[in-house]
Amino acid sequence: MAESNRKQAEIPASAEMINNPVGTACGFAIQLNRCLMFFTPGVPSEFKVMVEQEILPRLRQRFTLPDPPVCLRMTTFGRSESELAQSLNPLTLPPGVVMGYRSSMPIIELKLTGPADQRDAMLALWPEVRKVAGDSLIFEGTEGLPAQIARCLQERQLSLTLSEQFTGGLLALQLSRAGAPLLASEVVPAQEETLAQAARWAAERRINHFAGLALAVSGQENDHLNVALATRTAPSRCG
């Protein structure tokens, strides 16, 4: 252990050391009267591993822990939190179950959370939540939109090429990390471009790179953004 890290090994004499499998700073546990206290490093990734591999097993040995709560999630696009809440508030929730919202407009995540013994009732209610979300629903679960898109492309055996201005390579980065089948994506400087030009460029790019799909994202102009998707049939455009 490096000299600068030796202080990380200093724990109270009566404490039990808690191993840190992913870092140099150990944790420790102390019992004070009837209270069992655990101390861990503050790094979230280290804390999570220590809780799962070291702390929870110790707690299970001493106590009967309840089953973890159930959380059903769906992500919507384009509708406000207040609008969704107004439509969902009339729903009768099972005992102990709450509806939560996590907002990052225009994305809203809906979370139905409750005790494990209410799982069946929550699953029975979930179609009603899905019905309220309607066409604004983009995916369910925690997988994330890039992973959903990557899986859909793989299932349909489609490749994708990207030309990004406003997004500056962010789409390519996220889709690449999710394992999407990307071909020859590019980031180009922002320039004035009409919707028709973006659509034509997407269509040409798809053909030139032998891709199943081509997406062109223009630069932002007067709070307006042009996006064009070229498919194997005809280009799809939305402004």
Residues 6+ apart with CB under 8 A from 136: 76, 77, 78, 79, 84
Q: Is the confidence at residue 235, as pLDDT, over 50? A: no
CATH class, range 70-140 = alpha beta
The DSSP string of 187-217 is E-------HHHHHHHHHHHHHHTT-SEEEEE
Q: Is the confidence at residue 238, as pLDDT, over 70? A: no
CA dihedral 184→190→194→195, nearest 10 degrees, is 50
pTM over 0.85: no
The pLDDT value recorded for residue 1 is 65
H/E segment holding residue 112? strand 107-114
Q: One fold for both 70-140 and 145-238?
A: no
The pLDDT value recorded for residue 193 is 85
The mean per-residue pLDDT over the stretch 149-161 comes to: 93
The pLDDT value recorded for residue 237 is 45
Q: Is the confidence at residue 170, as pLDDT, over 70? A: yes
H/E segment holding residue 164? strand 160-164
pLDDT, tens digit (0-9, with 9 covering 90-100), for 93-132: 999 999 999 988 788 999 999 999 999 999 999 999 999 9
Q: Is the confidence at residue 5, as pLDDT, over 90? A: no
Q: Is the confidence at residue 239, as pLDDT, over 50? A: no
Classified by CATH at the fold level, domain 145-238 comes out as Maf protein (3.90.950)
pLDDT, tens digit (0-9, with 9 covering 90-100), for 112-121: 999 999 999 9
pLDDT, tens digit (0-9, with 9 covering 90-100), for 189-223: 988 888 999 999 999 999 999 999 999 999 887 78
Give, in degrees to the nearest 5, the angle at Cα 157 between 155 and 163: 110
Q: Domain residues of the chain, as ranges?
A: 15-62, 70-140, 145-238
The mean per-residue pLDDT over the stretch 29-51 comes to: 94
| pLDDT higher at 143 or 73 | 73
Rg (CA), the chain: 25
Instruction: List the structure tokens of 222.
Output: 């007067």
Determine contact, residues 73/136, Cβ cutoff 8 Å. no
